A and B are shown apart, each in its own frame.
With several copies, the nearest count.
Chain A
Amino acid sequence: MVKSKLMSISEALDLINDGDEIAIGGMSFHRNPMAMALAIARSNRRDLALIDREPGLAFDLLTISGRVRRIRAAMVTFEHFGIAPGFRRMVENGEVEFIEDVCEGVMAGLRAGAYGVPFMPSAIALDSDLVQLNVKRGIWKVIRNPFNEEEEFVAVKAIRPDVAIIHAHKADEKGDVELQGPKYEDLLKVQAAKRVIVTVEEVVPEDYFRNNPDKLTIPGFLVTAVVHAPRGAWPTSMYGYYEADYKVIRKYFDAVKSGSNIEEVLRVFSNV
């Protein structure tokens, strides 16, 4: 018989190993996998690496959690609040290694990973100072267009995260997922990652998808674990379900900026 992919958040945590590279779903203050991020922050995992294109709260929290050694992103922003506070503190102090990527690089790398090819050609400007840095790191390479030798471009190496963590709307126990509204690069992350944890607002019976086949966004064979985590994106927004709680995000911002340690910061999320 078919095994259920439903598990508790702590069982899902067991899918994450020390040193894993984790792709984080959502964007800035929207549909972040907060339930899982908080669980990781409170765990004893170590030396994790994070990757995302334009991350926000979950990424920033993990960056200061002590669980993370390396981060890779195109922009880490708290938008009109200011520079992401944990990101800024940890990178300025040299406490995490920051691989500064660009949107084009993360998208190209995730596409190569999702499509199972070694790299993707990109339109990254050759004279950005980031090119030499990321070529040295081995994640970019300047090559010629095989169909037009005069044209040079940046090839981006495939990104194959160990784990992708996505918060979504609904899933059944086979891992079939409905993801409403904005998608960001979450579908590429799911394809590119070796293991996929999807936390959801609602667990639905299988017939939900048979009765509403246009709701399927991610087929179950791409998903390793389904975790029932209602309000699992809070305080970030969940399209169609709840809005971002900017007061709590502001509290987090102020706490981190004022130098609070991780235990104090985590308290921001516990007085719900």
Chain B
Amino acid sequence: MSSMDNVIKCMAQQLRDGDIAYTGLASVPAVLAIALARHWGRDVTFINVAEIYEPKDMIIKVSSGDPTSFIGGKGIVTSLDAFDLARRGLLDVMFFSAAQVDRRGNMNLSVIGSYEKPRVRLPGGAAAAYLYRRARRVIMWLKEHSRRTLVEHVDFVTAPGPTKYGPHLTVCTPKALFEFDQEVGELVLTGLFPGVTVDDIINNMAFKPRIKEPLRILETVTAEELRLLNRWDPDGVRYS
């Protein structure tokens, strides 16, 4: 077990009965979160960048866009279809990760350093700059809970954070759960994993978040859930 398995469980717990959820590229944790929520019996309709609609089973590959990774699908639903759904306000859940996220929920997937002469040129924000305005809920995950990833101001606003109208944003990290408070316009610490202290959380991020007491203690993966994650993802792509 690794902290990433707990992050995946945290993501899965954000899903609800009746959700239509979409996963993009480089999103193995999101795919596994949907698989886990469905295993729990939650009625989540699954559409994805591989364009395989409602697969029955999966075997994770290094690409979350691999169509052979999704088994027993009911047909093709394109990303164009999925994004049209979002534009009409009907996509319930979109998953994102980011190199940096800040207090305001702004995401950076573009560059570390200056835009014109970047220290690291990141892949780009893909759908973020518009789904942040049109998905009903965004579930973000961070592989790393650190001062590098949780920053006061992102180096570049690839996708601006939520407004008071939406979307609902949650961020799952290896240590904690944040939820965006539409009233104050900030990420608020709402949960933490067992054995993690609030100090541990705050000292490992570059902004001091508001805290919503009482903090929820997040569930860690069970042995059965880990067995399932290993069955779907035998090569451990989720840890990469």
Chain A residues in contact with chain B, CB under 8 A? 1-2, 27-30, 53-54, 73-77, 79-81, 83-84, 87-88, 91-92, 94, 98, 100-104, 107, 114-117, 122-125, 127-130, 133, 176, 181-185, 188, 191, 206, 209-210, 213-216, 219-222, 237, 239, 243-244, 246
Residue ID in chain A nearest B73 by CB atoms:
A213
CB atoms of A244 and B66 under 8 A apart: yes
User: Which residues from chain B contact A81 at a C-beta distance below 8 Å?
Assistant: 62, 240
Alpha-carbon gap, A102 to B84, bound state (A): 15
**Which of B122-130, B144-152, B192-200, B214-222 lies at the interface with chain A?**
B122-130
CB neighbours (8 Å) of B28 from chain A are: 80
* Chain A residues within 8 Å of B61, by CB: 244, 246
A243 and B240 CA atoms in complex are apart in Å by 21
Bound Cα distance from A214 to B132, whole angstroms: 32
B67–A102 CB distance below 8 A: no
Please tell me if the beta carbons of A104 and B65 are within 8 angstroms of each other in the complex. Answer: no
Partner of B127, one of A103, A191, A221: A103
Which residues on B are within 8 Å of A, measured CB to CB? Answer: 20, 24-26, 28, 43, 45, 47, 49-54, 56, 61-68, 72-81, 83-90, 109-110, 115, 117-118, 120-130, 132-134, 156-160, 237, 240
Return 27 A-B CB contacts under 8 Å, by A number: A27-B49, A30-B63, A53-B126, A75-B124, A79-B25, A80-B237, A83-B122, A91-B118, A102-B128, A115-B87, A124-B129, A124-B130, A127-B157, A128-B157, A128-B160, A129-B110, A129-B157, A129-B158, A182-B50, A184-B78, A191-B81, A210-B56, A213-B74, A215-B75, A221-B20, A221-B85, A221-B90
Residues of chain A with a CB closer than 8 A to B86's CB = 116, 123
CA distance A25 to B76 in the complex (A): 17
Interface pairs A-B: 6 shortest CB-CB: A216-B75, A116-B87, A182-B51, A75-B126, A116-B88, A104-B130
Are B80 and A185 within 8 A (Cβ)?
yes
Contact A125 B51 (CB under 8 A): no
Look across to chain A and name the residue whose beta carbon is closest to the beta carbon of B160. Answer: A127
For A243, give its contact among B53, B68, B87 (CB under 8 Å). B68
Distance between Cα atoms of A239 and B70 in the complex (Å) = 12
Q: Which residue of the partner chain A has the closest CB to B154? A: A129
Q: How far is the CB of A52 from chain B (nearest CB, A)?
A: 11
| Total A-B pairs, Cβ < 8 A | 208
- Residue of B at shortest CB range from A92? B121
Task: Say whether A210 contacts B73, CB under 8 Å.
Answer: yes
Residues of A within 8 A of B49 (CB): 27, 54
In Å, the complex CA distance between A102 and B127 comes to 6
Give A94 Cβ to nearest chain B Cβ, in Å. 8
Contact partner of B68 among A2, A115, A129, A237, CB < 8 A?
A: A237
Q: A27, A88, A103, A184: which has the most chain B beta carbons within 10 Å?
A: A103
Residues of A within 8 A of B79 (CB): 103, 184-185
CA–CA, A77 and B25, complex, Å: 8
Q: How far is the CA of A210 from the CA of B73 in the complex (A)?
A: 6
What 7 new A-B contacts, CB under 8 Å, besides A75-B125, A237-B67?
A27-B49, A30-B65, A53-B126, A74-B124, A107-B83, A130-B110, A243-B66
**Other-chain contact of A130, B81, B85, B127, B158 (Cβ < 8 Å):** B158
Residues in A whose Cβ lies below 8 Å from that of B129: 102, 104, 124-125, 128, 130
Which among A27, A129, A222, A246 is the interface contact of B65 at CB below 8 angstroms?
A: A27
A176, B74: Cα distance in complex, Å: 8
When the two chains form their complex, are residues B67 and A74 in contact, meaning their CB atoms are under 8 A apart?
no
Contact with B125, one of A28, A115, A130, A188 (Cβ below 8 angstroms): A130
A103, A124, A191, A246: the one contacting B88 at CB < 8 Å is A191
A28's contact among B63, B83, B134, B158, by CB below 8 Å, is which? B63
B63 touches A116 (CB 8 A): no
Contact yes or no, B76 A116, CB < 8 A: no
CB < 8 Å: which of A79, A88, A123, A244 contacts B130? A123
